[in-house]
Structure formats: C-alpha cells, structure tokens
Amino acid sequence: MQRLAFKMKIKPGTAAEYKKRHDEIWPELVTLLKGSGVSDYSIFLDEETDTLFAVQKVEGEGGSQDLGDNPVVRKWWAYMEDIMETNEDTSPVSIPLREVFYLK
C-alpha cells in the first residue's frame, strides 16, 4: 500500500460549499474510489490560502487523481468546477507532493 498526497485550491469564499458538497459525497463516487483501491482519504484546508491538502492510501499504482476517464469522476469534476481551480477538462488543478518524513 502506498500513501499519496497532493494539493489543490478552492476559490475564495467557497470553503463552506466545498465542505457541504463533500459531506454529501455521492455514494457511487465512494464506491468507485474504494473499488479502485483508495482508502483512508482525507482533505484538509488551509483557510489563509484556500489551499487543500489531500492524503490517501492506495492499493495498486494510481490514486483518485488517476480516475479521470470514469464518467462518475467526470461528472464530479464538472460539479466542483465552479468552486475550484480547474484545468480545461474540468479536472482540479492537482499538484502531487513528495513525502519527506513519515513517523509510523
């Protein structure tokens, strides 16, 4: 199992809406993530910079950011586009982070 981390950005003033949408995450998206080997997935917000920090455990090679060909993920990206920094294909701008320390 590997742990992956990445950062994203939300648009100013959208923190409450971002949390609301994730509190109501679609069951089919949860099923897809878990079925793809993603678990122990957390997203944290730096409210001063509107930067999101995400970390997840993954069985296999790819994490949640590698599911962009799935229609459920595409629909979620479109749903989140108005409150996040996104690429032209509506995927969130996601920057992988390199682990430099881990305490077990």
3 state SS of 72 = helix
| Catalytic site residue from 3, 22, 46, 59 | 22
Instruction: Write the DSSP symbol of residue 10.
Output: B
Residue the block writes with tokens 């950062």: 7
45/8 Cα distance (integer angstroms): 9
- 81 given a catalytic annotation: no
Parallel/antiparallel/unpaired status of strands 51-58 and 2-9:
antiparallel
Instruction: Write the DSSP symbol of residue 97.
Output: E
3 state SS of 51 = strand
Q: Which residues are part of the catalytic machinery? A: 22
